[in-house]
Structure 1
């Protein structure tokens, strides 16, 4: 009886929405795979992994035509762990996204709520780590530049996105700390611009977070959004790609400055790696990272793709110059428009980092740290979109 009433209520709600020239869409993506790693915390491992390449999510999005080129919009989305059903963002009903806003056809879109940052929106799609043909495992060390898809989500965010003018799009954002008497602590702001015309795509952006991970605010540790706990994090990025027939080739550069870093999170274990941590050393002081990525995707057939990426990351940390080499190779085959299978391998090596620091341990994105300077992972999985 209860199920019948719920069904009747939903039917009435959607019918009313349709009558008002509105739409509500249920959507999602599920990614699951087996991952072999040669070294995680000193041991090789086989794991059934949730989201080796893309976050598994489900959500609702909708719009209402208000007339005169004006629309009301909303999106609520949750990311989850397919292997055990747990929330990916702990304690958040809609941890991936939760926002409402207005879209004007001639003037752009203004949204309010929990959202991805503007640089992730516009520069991220030019990287291998943002796309299904590379994904989370291909992320830059420690996900230091926020360019991996669906990684860092900002609370209390107001974001503006312009219409597209002759291929040009602009976005800007401000994420409030929401702290009385402490307005500047754990807030964030940024801007990004992109240009897409024919085979050419270009984008650039800047993002600054003051006090990320320090209690509540724009970026928190409570829901595992924060990658670093620091006094300040600043990120510049620039990228482009070119498509010629079945081939797309791209180059991306990003520069990250982390001031007075206290620690970083190991994404595979959810463990905070800071002062006194026995598993992977310490992190403290200022950290500078430049990421140089080259990527390539080749569609052998409409269903079969091969892709690869190489990123060199140059660092500066307390008088040392650590460097990371990260390489990714993937092949994927789609058996329908919504379902595909993939095999992906990732290699990472770090050198020049001071011993006893977390930087001296290789750590492929989404995995726990290696006990050495090298880590290798191979994933075989399935993705289904709906």
Structure 2
């Protein structure tokens, strides 16, 4: 009996030792609040909302040390709606992220699966729409440049990220259509370059989507990842920020070209607005958008901060010149390292768009469209990370 017990104890000790260099972590983020909107489809609204600023998710991530600076890494993540428990990506077990890869300390990281695009990785963190101090609702109109908080997830992707060299990181990605005999139909590719040294951060990126939303492929409508249904969408972006003391200020520019656009995804309604849409007008032809954002954040104390951002978006659409003004102001108080409370107001006005087009309706991200060219929303929310 004593010999059997000793054998069992030693076996357990060896098993723990064998797995000592591996780790699996359960993690998540919950964002919920009460939202007042002055106009959604012609009516004011009080609503309980989730993911107004950050995606509400839970997931598993892990790594295994293979030796010589090489690691196996993975992440499986699902988004969900806190107010009713539904999946954010309907029908997907891990719709938010699902990837596996190899990480080499001297050579960089190579990952495979469903991932966020590289431009979002590089330039996104410089925008208000990406960060907790602004969030998804403060993103550029229709999130036309994919810079909001991880809103577009790309299937069938191979991504490479270099190690940091003197503050510089390079990323590139190719996402397959996975269609036999139709290699270029619904594929995506791009790159991102970032520099971080002391108080200065700079980044630039390019992303191209071919036939996004066209059935299965890199970016689909079934999982709500496609922002636009179009023949081609090309995005260039450039940004930077600088921190001095308790303040951080930033500037971001992006240019989006959308060819043969047929519709745009409405974050709040879960449907596409476009051709033959009687409630919001039509959308067809060529669309060009330039976004100019200035943002700032100031920490009064380690717990209390205030932030703001303003974006002017200049458009060109079938001979018209629509323009959007989007402004955000937030105050945030951290109750602990993992829990914070925030109050945020966001305003959007659009002018110059054809009256019969989707573009003539203000539409803050995560909300249904306004019946007019103006929309205002105020949120009181609570976030918790685990």
Compute the TM-score of the two structures, normalised by the length of structure 2: 0.96
Does residue 143 of structure 2 align to residue 143 of structure 1?
yes
Determine the C-alpha separation between the residues in 2 that align with 1:190 and 1:257.
15
Does residue 207 of structure 2 align to residue 229 of structure 1?
no
2:5 match: none
2:252 match: 252
Does residue 134 of structure 2 align to residue 125 of structure 1?
no
Residue deviations 1:228-284 (CA, integer Å, cap 9, x gap): 000000000000000001000000000000000000011101121011101110000
Greater C-alpha Rg: 2
Determine the C-alpha separation between the residues in 1 that align with 2:236 and 2:160.
19
2:91 match: 91
Paired residues for 1:262-277 under 5 Å: 262-277=262-277
Give, in angstroms, the shift of residue 46 of structure 1: 0.3
Secondary structure, counterpart of 1:137 in structure 2: helix
Give, in angstroms, the shift of residue 149 of structure 1: 1.1
Determine the C-alpha separation between the residues in 2 that align with 1:171 and 1:16.
36
Residue deviations 1:331-371 (CA, integer Å, cap 9, x gap): 00001000000000000000000111000000001100000
Residue deviations 1:93-131 (CA, integer Å, cap 9, x gap): 100100000001000000000000000001000000000
CA separation of 1:371/1:198 partners in 2, compared to 1, >3 Å: closer, same or farther? same
CA separation of 1:210/1:242 partners in 2, compared to 1, >3 Å: closer, same or farther? same
1:4 match: none
Residue deviations 1:191-240 (CA, integer Å, cap 9, x gap): 01000000000000000010001110000000111110000000000000
Does residue 316 of structure 2 align to residue 312 of structure 1?
no
Secondary structure, counterpart of 1:230 in structure 2: strand
1:360 match: 360
Paired residues for 1:276-287 under 5 Å: 276-287=276-287
Give, in angstroms, the shift of residue 16 of structure 1: 5.2
Contact 1:210 1:231 in 2 (8 A): yes
Deviates more, 1:16-25 or 1:223-232: 16-25
Determine the C-alpha separation between the residues in 1 that align with 2:273 and 2:138.
21
Contact 1:62 1:74 in 2 (8 A): yes
CA separation of 1:376/1:18 partners in 2, compared to 1, >3 Å: closer, same or farther? farther
Paired residues for 1:67-106 under 5 Å: 67-106=67-106
Deviates more, 1:19-28 or 1:304-313: 19-28
Unaligned runs of 5+ in 1: 1-11
Contact 1:362 1:369 in 2 (8 A): yes
1:323 match: 323
Compute the TM-score of the two structures, normalised by the length of structure 1: 0.96
Determine the C-alpha separation between the residues in 2 that align with 1:52 and 1:223.
18
Aligned residues: 373
2:6 match: none
Does residue 236 of structure 2 align to residue 205 of structure 1?
no
Give, in angstroms, the shift of residue 89 of structure 1: 0.9
CA RMSD between the two structures: 1.0
Determine the C-alpha separation between the residues in 2 that align with 1:266 and 1:279.
12
Give, in angstroms, the shift of residue 28 of structure 1: 0.6
1:6 match: none
Secondary structure, counterpart of 2:251 in structure 1: strand
Secondary structure, counterpart of 1:99 in structure 2: strand
Paired residues for 1:45-60 under 5 Å: 45-60=45-60
1:3 match: none
Determine the C-alpha separation between the residues in 2 that align with 1:228 and 1:367.
16
1:342 match: 342
Residue deviations 1:145-179 (CA, integer Å, cap 9, x gap): 00001200000000000000010000000000000
Contact 1:17 1:23 in 2 (8 A): no
Give, in angstroms, the shift of residue 19 of structure 1: 2.4
Deviates more, 1:262-271 or 1:320-329: 262-271
Secondary structure, counterpart of 2:121 in structure 1: helix
Does residue 127 of structure 2 align to residue 108 of structure 1?
no
Determine the C-alpha separation between the residues in 2 that align with 1:16 and 1:147.
42
